[in-house]
Structure 1
Amino acid sequence: MSVNHLLVLLLFLLTSKTGFSAEISVFVQTGASVQLDIQTQQLPEFDILAWMNDKSESIVRYNSDSKSVKPHDSYKDRVDFNDRTFSLTLKNMQKTDSGLYTARTTGLKNEDLASYRVSVIDAVVAPVLTVNSNWSSSDSCTVNFTCRAPELMINSSYQNNRCSPQEVTSHEIHNLTLDCSKKYILCNHSNPVSWKQARINITQLCDDNKNERSIQSESSLMWPVVGSVAVCILICVSIVLYRKKKGAQEVVVEGNTVYAQVEVQAQTQEETGDKRPNTTYCTVGQYPKTTNHSETDLTIYSTVCKQSNKKPPAISANST
């Protein structure tokens, strides 16, 4: 049972004998409706029963003789009056409607039957629950977090499957409460007309953190291995390139003549003044003797640079 209902019940017990009730506080959400009741069991004889606002305006007037109901022009489209219980219902309440509402009878005796202090307030906004940092091991999880609403904030931590419940209040009507269970962190924002909650699944948060740390650990172990492999590859490539650069000259065998290609800087015909093609030879080695050749050694030549010319070559080379 809500606090407002308890107050109404208490006032009913008090007014059942005295016929008068003290001021009752009522909170209404903006845009909602509110019903104002008369708890007196026996009403005195009256000519007029009217519900008044704090501006002394008659929101509605009921005539007991004619049984007629006359609403105020400013409330005509958003007021309902029950001519049996004499309760008043106000619709589409706005903040400007906040104030004191009184049920009053006039006749042989003027009497106030009920009085309500109505406060029209907005619904609360959803709170924001933020994880500041979290740490988890194989057997525990610790989370630091903030529960926040307009003008209200709670900082706390979750450890060993629990946290300390906390509550803060603003303007005596807005409450921010924090609580935890084994599965959730709960942040509640409320006022007398509304309630909203934000929550975090602490079990999932801790499991995700453990998985992330496991991946980071595996990555930290993998990088040294990758680095070592990369270094080995670089060393192998360097050795291969070095061997190619310093390797033996390419040797070509054609028939009984062995040629080796050697890089030299050739002179052009204009530089030498010689119109004839020039062929340069260098001795590479001797061709090995075989049973099919005579005992005479065979000389091996290497063509270093040979310039082409349309004239027949002036010098020819034969192996001896």
Structure 2
Amino acid sequence: MAVHHLLVFLLSLLTFKTGFSAEISVFVKTGDSVQLDIQTQELPEFDVLSWTNDKSENIVRYISATKEVKPHNSYKDRVDFNDETFSLTLKNMQKTDTGLYTARASGESEKNIVTYKVSVIDAVDAPVLTVNSNWSSSDSCTVNFTCRAHDLMINSSYQNNRCSPQEVTSQINTLILNCSEESIICNHSNPVSWKKYRINITQLCVNNKEHNKGDDETKALLQFWPYILVAVCLFLAIALFLAFLYSKCKKGAQEEGSRVHAQVEAQEMQKNNSDGHTNDIPEQVQDQTQEQTGDNRPNTIYCTVGQHQKPAVPLETIYSVVCKQP
């Protein structure tokens, strides 16, 4: 502790005697404001106080005699200067504003009061926590997981309700892994922001237990799959056979119905034609035919005409022969 105070005293002495000022690192998030302060007890008498950047531009000039504040044109709407504490506030910082900012007092001599090294950086991205869970026993949950952010990565495992805390850094980014009995926490941070990702380990283990139970049921079902396949094939074969029989019976019935219908129509047509031809033959023709044949059964001629047989001799010729005088 004594050595630390001694170093601070020597640095202050060096600053007042030689005008040398150590750089103070300051980080600001993109779009935010930053305030640069001066320790007034260390400020000597001056005529003009100015804040300059590493481009040698006077961001603001303060004249002690008139208490006049003159901001630079490019910073006119982006700076606030306090004429009592002489602090400078820069607004809406962008990455192009990264650099050195120095407070300088001018009087009998010029002295650098303080110098700030301002770094404008973006906020961190949320970390990604990838989990792979396995059950080692019915009452124990072992979780292997990976915490990743930016160019940083931590691989670890959760077992017996705990895991080993780990931390990795890269320049200004830091990745930290912590575990509790209920959750796994992955934290990503830089000097201006931090974000974390949390997983409920209790719920995770319960979900994985149910998932593994479902896998066991699926495996049991797969053991009966061949029997199920045989039953389905047998059912399809029976269904196709019954469909074939039904189709065949339906076709036979249709054919039988068509045949019966054709027979009925033929009989009706035969009867109609027979009645018509009998009425058209004159009675004399019928009597003469019976006398010539010596047969009193006119059914022979009736049946012949009824069967649509074409007579060998035209009807007119037969009529003439019958009517000719003996």
- What's the TM-score, normalizing by structure 2? 0.65
Which position in structure 2 is the counterpart of 1:197?
196
Which position in structure 2 is the counterpart of 1:180?
179
Alignment of 1:22-61 (within 5 A): 22-61=22-61
Q: What is the distance in 2 between the residues matched to 1:31 and 1:78? A: 11
What is the SS of the residue equivalent to 1:32?
A: coil
Q: What is the distance in 1 between the residues matched to 2:183 and 2:158? A: 10
Of stretches 85-94 and 16-25 in structure 1, the one that deviates more from structure 2 is 16-25
Contact 2:100 2:117 in 1 (8 A): yes
Q: What is the distance in 2 between the residues matched to 1:55 and 1:106? A: 19
Which position in structure 2 is the counterpart of 1:221?
220
Of stretches 19-28 and 120-129 in structure 1, the one that deviates more from structure 2 is 19-28
Deviations 1:39-78 (A, max 9, x none): 2415211100011111111110000000000001111100
Which position in structure 1 is the counterpart of 2:118?
118
Which position in structure 2 is the counterpart of 1:207?
206
Give runs of ≥4 in structure 1 deviating > 6 Å: 10-14, 232-243
Give the drift of 1:12. 10
Q: What is the distance in 1 between the residues matched to 2:112 and 2:23? A: 11
Give the drift of 1:13. 11
Which position in structure 2 is the counterpart of 1:152?
152
Which position in structure 2 is the counterpart of 1:280?
none
Give the 3 Å change call, closer, same or farther, for CA 238–193 of structure 1 in structure 2: closer
Give the 3 Å change call, closer, same or farther, for CA 103–238 of structure 1 in structure 2: closer
Give the drift of 1:135. 0.7
Contact 1:16 1:40 in 2 (8 A): no
Alignment of 1:1-320 (within 5 A): 15=12, 19=16, 21-131=21-131, 133-136=132-135, 137-170=137-170, 172-224=171-223, 228=227, 231=230, 308=263, 310=267
Q: What is the distance in 1 between the residues matched to 2:239 and 2:125? A: 71
Which position in structure 1 is the counterpart of 2:300?
none
What is the SS of the residue equivalent to 2:206?
A: helix
Q: What is the distance in 2 between the residues matched to 1:12 and 1:70? A: 34
Give the drift of 1:109. 2.6
Give the 3 Å change call, closer, same or farther, for CA 30–233 of structure 1 in structure 2: closer
Deviations 1:197-223 (A, max 9, x none): 122221111110101111222233345
Q: What is the distance in 2 between the residues matched to 1:67 and 1:240? A: 106
The one-letter code of the counterpart of 1:154 is I
Which of the two has greater strand per residue? Answer: 1
Deviations 1:284-313 (A, max 9, x none): xxxxxxxxxxxxxxxxxxxxx9x957389x
- What's the TM-score, normalizing by structure 1? 0.66
Which of the two has greater helix per residue? Answer: 2
The one-letter code of the counterpart of 1:143 is V
Q: What is the distance in 2 between the residues matched to 1:53 and 1:18? A: 19
Give the 3 Å change call, closer, same or farther, for CA 116–12 of structure 1 in structure 2: farther
Q: Number of residues paired by the alignment?
A: 248
Give the drift of 1:134. 1.2
What is the SS of the residue equivalent to 2:65?
A: coil
Task: Structure 2: state its 5+ residue gaps.
Answer: 1-6, 245-251, 253-258, 272-326
Q: What is the distance in 2 between the residues matched to 1:215 and 1:164? A: 31
Task: Structure 1: state its 5+ residue gaps.
Answer: 1-9, 246-262, 264-276, 278-304, 313-320
Deviations 1:217-269 (A, max 9, x none): 223334545765775687699899999x9xxxxxxxxxxxxxxxxx9xxxxxx
What is the SS of the residue equivalent to 2:56?
A: coil
Give the 3 Å change call, closer, same or farther, for CA 77–11 of structure 1 in structure 2: farther
What is the SS of the residue equivalent to 2:76?
A: helix
Contact 1:15 1:39 in 2 (8 A): no
Contact 1:61 1:69 in 2 (8 A): yes
Give the drift of 1:79. 0.2
Give the 3 Å change call, closer, same or farther, for CA 81–232 of structure 1 in structure 2: closer
The one-letter code of the counterpart of 1:178 is L
Q: What is the distance in 2 between the residues matched to 1:239 and 1:58? A: 98
Percent identity over the alignment is 63
Contact 2:40 2:85 in 1 (8 A): no
Give the drift of 1:18. 6.0
